[in-house]
């Protein structure tokens, strides 16, 4: 072939990467034991891992069991106090050393990753490994700054990390780097298919002098991961994987007190407007869906293209697909490598074969490979438009208007990421807040950095990876934790004091007083035996009505922060005008003076009126020509079980930050002393608060917690009631994987309970990547 023909054809010859060094390392160390307490254990019962590209055996790895997990957790527990006591600078030095070692061993790590997972060597070499080093560098900086920037926080303890097979080494970095920076120790369970780079990294960590027990790796299948999740001495579980498994982990950890973050599946929209640079959008789409063979949780697998350019865009896309190179992932010229395992290949094949629509596929090699695929002509309810395929399969629909694009983009149970392509920056920045996803890429896709939080909404999980927001998930507030004492309503007296006209407090739903659906009421007595009134006993129908009202009022989140601040100030003003009345009510119900609680409630309203327009986002320092905006957005509808021990202050301490940040809420007030809440809705009525922003359903906590926590239209659930309710909330929240914030039976000092922790619970961090330049 002549030089002219090469330039005309632009064909690539083979450029194979040597696997000799990686295979020598495997041969030297296999069969592998676990990495526990700074050394490899003797191998136990083993299983064989395979190279997806050729099906050949790679290594024998030990199948971990509950005893192995217990040994690793005990090693991590022994090491944790000393690791946590190290100065931040010392931990930073270890993390810096790990980052440098990743760079020093970068080619060995990249080749081993490719052999283990089937991803192209150029992706492992040029994307995964540099990002791994970046995470350890970044978190070295956070460790250095932690004591000064977060002096009130401390590490959680022992963290269990369960990671998937699509980015084995990068997912390790996402979990291990923040955990170690915060002062925790780690037990890591890598995926059964791809354990080798975790074992290699653990062995390399010895070269950094990492103390024994700080990082432990136990290999095995799902039963090994379940043993780690269930271990009673683990303080946090960090999981990346499928939504179904994430839901099981949420159920398994419910009520245990374990912290939990979940980064789960996705069905991310890739939205192309008619004014977009179509050629750039096609290239971006190649990275969005065929990067790593489509085995990416945030893959842009749902193409939404504006009707006027759809045919032209699809034509360009098919032409680009024809040029994709599929084959041996060790070849540096390959665009797409092998599917990780025959089981995954079979699942992808079955889903596509069962789908309707017009399919376009390009040739690919025999073996564990699947061709890049485009499916057009689907409807929004089609299975492949709704379900995650986790393979190189793109499904496409058209839209006409931006409003329709938003509706289609949000027509999914997931909410991990989205790409928006348009040359109109006003349109792009208008769309970004409307699309329900934790990460938005404008005119780009699959942009990641340790400084920019990554994570999802809805059934894509909760928590963030990266940035200060990611580190906070590995910390807790330093405080003495006391068991919550139960509070009972005043009992019915032997001789009742009943005077005056009857007073029956109703529920407060949609800005109106509402009778309880069940028709039941309960008397409320004073400490001296006086009948103070009756409250309605709410039921699941009342909860359903309240959630519907809260959903209908979600326009509250679009109002300006200044307006929300004004209304909170106005609520405080009107409460202040009736302070003596509220104080008397509290004194009647509790037998104690209520003046201080009322004054604290007024001050609390002022606090969140002040915060409403001051809880700012951030511009992240990411290595692009552009910015990554970390925006604090409201969660949506927040359900809250309010405390018994502070009937007015506790309710306001939950209500005020929720509505200050733009949420609507359904509040179940103190079961023992509910009249403070039913008096409050008269204040809300006179304070310009739109109907439905705050809804109050009185009744027994045990009866109302389950329907509120399980409601699929509730986006976050808080519980500061009795201990048993915390587990119920976390179990019921698994239905739509809503965020939870519960007390686990520990008391809260409501006189001091205010500030950023409440604001963070009331918001989601959305990261919007905005590249710029010609």
Beta bridge partners of 718: 640, 741
| Residue entry with tokens 């509402």 | 514
Cα 91 versus chain centre, distance: 26
Q: Which residue from 494, 585, 271 is spatially nearest to 404, judged by alpha carbons?
A: 271
Q: And the tokens for 69?
A: 């997990």
Q: Within the chain, what is the greatest distance between any pair of CA atoms?
A: 108
Phi, psi at 358, each rounded to 5°: -90, 125
Cβ atoms of 502 and 509 closer than 8 Å: no
Query: % helix / strand / coil in the chain, to the nearest 5?
Result: 45, 20, 35
- 446: Cβ–Cβ under 8 A, 6 or more apart, which residues? 287, 288, 291, 296, 298
For the chain, the distance separating the N- and C-terminal CA atoms, rounded to the nearest angstrom, is 37
Question: Do 204 and 101 meet the contact criterion of CB atoms below 8 Å apart?
Answer: yes
Query: Which pair of structure tokens corresponds to residue 632?
Result: 């604090």
CB 185 within 8 A of CB 156: no
Helix 561-577, helix 579-590: angle, nearest 10? 70
- 365, 536, 654, 696, 719 from 641: Cα distances, Å: 57, 16, 9, 10, 5
Q: What distance in Å separates the CA atoms of residue 25 and residue 21, rounded to the nearest whole number?
A: 6
DSSP per-residue string spanning 64-97: --HHHHHHHHHHHHHHHHHHHHS-HHHHHHHHHH
User: Rounded CA gap, 317 and 385, in Å?
Assistant: 19
Give strand pairing partners of 60. Answer: 48
Question: What is the set of active-site residues?
Answer: 263, 297
CA separation for the pair 311, 328 (Å, rounded):
33
Cα separation of 437 and 410, whole Å? 8
- Three-class SS of residue 215? strand
């Amino acid at each position: 072939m002549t030089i002219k023909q090469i330039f005309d054809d632009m064909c690539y010859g083979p450029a194979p990467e040597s696997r000799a060094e990686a295979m020598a390392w495997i041969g030297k160390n296999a069969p592998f034991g676990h990495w526990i307490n700074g050394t490899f254990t003797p191998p136990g019962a083993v299983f064989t891992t395979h190279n997806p590209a050729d099906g050949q055996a790679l290594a024998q790895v030990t199948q971990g069991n509950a005893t192995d997990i217990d040994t690793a957790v005990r090693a991590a527990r022994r090491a944790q106090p000393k690791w946590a006591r190290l100065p931040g600078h010392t931990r930073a030095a270890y993390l810096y050393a790990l980052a440098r070692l990743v760079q020093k061993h970068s080619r060995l790590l990249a080749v081993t990753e490719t052999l283990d997972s089937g991803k192209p060597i150029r992706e492992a070499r040029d994307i995964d490994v540099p990002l791994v080093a970046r995470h350890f560098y970044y978190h070295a900086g956070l460790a250095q700054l932690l004591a000064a920037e977060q002096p009130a926080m401390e590490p959680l303890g022992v963290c269990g990390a369960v990671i998937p097979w699509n980015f084995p080494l990068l997912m390790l970095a996402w979990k291990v780097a923040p955990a170690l920076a915060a002062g925790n120790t780690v037990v890591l369970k890598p995926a059964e298919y791809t354990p080798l780079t975790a074992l290699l990294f653990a062995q390399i960590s010895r070269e950094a002098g990492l103390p024994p027990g700080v990082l432990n790796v136990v290999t095995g299948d799902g039963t090994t991961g379940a043993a780690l999740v269930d271990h009673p001495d683990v303080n946090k579980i960090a999981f990346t994987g499928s939504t179904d498994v994430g839901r099981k982990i949420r159920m398994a950890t419910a009520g245990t007190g374990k912290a939990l973050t979940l980064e789960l599946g996705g069905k991310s929209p890739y939205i192309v407007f008619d004014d977009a640079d179509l050629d750039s959008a096609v290239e971006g789409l190649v990275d969005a869906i065929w990067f790593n063979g489509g085995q990416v949780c945030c893959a842009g697998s749902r193409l939404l293209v504006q009707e006027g350019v759809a045919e032209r865009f699809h034509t360009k896309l098919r032409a680009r697909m024809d040029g994709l190179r599929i084959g041996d992932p060790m070849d540096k010229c390959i665009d797409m490598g092998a599917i990780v395992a025959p089981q995954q290949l079979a699942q992808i094949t079955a889903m596509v074969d069962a789908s309707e629509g017009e399919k376009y596929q390009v040739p690919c090699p025999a073996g564990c490979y699947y061709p890049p695929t485009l499916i057009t002509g689907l409807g929004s309810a089609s299975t492949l438009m709704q379900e995650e395929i986790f393979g190189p399969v793109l499904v496409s629909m058209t839209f006409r208007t931006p409003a329709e694009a938003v509706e289609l983009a949000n027509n999914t149970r997931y909410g991990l990421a989205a790409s928006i392509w348009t040359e109109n920056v006003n349109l792009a920045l208008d769309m970004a807040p409307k699309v329900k996803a934790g990460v938005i890429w404008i005119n780009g896709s699959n942009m990641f950095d340790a400084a920019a939080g990554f994570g999802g909404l809805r059934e894509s999980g909760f928590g963030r990876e990266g940035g200060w927001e990611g580190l906070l998930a590995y910390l807790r507030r330093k405080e003495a934790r006391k068991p919550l004492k139960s509070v009972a309503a005043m009992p019915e007296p032997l001789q009742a004091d009943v005077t005056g006209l009857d007073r029956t407090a109703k529920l407060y739903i949609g800005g109106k007083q509402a009778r309880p659906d069940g028709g039941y009421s309960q008397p409320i007595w004073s400490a001296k035996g006086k009948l103070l009134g009756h409250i309605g006993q709410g039921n699941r129908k009342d909860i359903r009505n309240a959630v519907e009202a809260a959903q209908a009022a979600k326009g509250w989140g679009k109002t300006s922060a200044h307006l929300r601040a004004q209304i909170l100030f106005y609520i405080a003003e009107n409460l202040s005008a009736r302070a003596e009345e509220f104080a008397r009510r509290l004194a009647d119900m509790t037998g104690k003076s209520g003046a201080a609680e009322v004054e604290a409630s007024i001050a609390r309203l002022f606090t969140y009126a002040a915060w409403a327009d001051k809880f700012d986002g951030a511009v992240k320092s990411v290595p692009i020509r552009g910015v990554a905006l970390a925006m604090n957005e409201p969660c949506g509808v927040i359900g809250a079980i309010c405390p018994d021990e502070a009937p007015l202050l506790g309710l306001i301490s939950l209500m005020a930050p929720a509505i200050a940040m733009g949420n609507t809420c359904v509040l179940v007030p103190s079961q023992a002393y509910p009249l403070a809440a039913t008096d409050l809705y008269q204040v809300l009525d006179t304070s310009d608060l739109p109907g439905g922003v705050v809804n109050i359903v009185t009744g027994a906590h045990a009866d109302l917690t389950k329907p509120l926590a399980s409601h699929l239209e509730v986006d976050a659930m808080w519980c500061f009631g009795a201990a048993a309710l915390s587990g119920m909330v976390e179990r019921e929240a698994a239905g739509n994987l809503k965020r939870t914030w519960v007390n686990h039976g520990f008391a809260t000092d409501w006189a001091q309970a205010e500030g950023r922790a409440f604001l963070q619970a009331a918001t989601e961090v959305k990261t919007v990547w905005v590249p710029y330049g010609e």
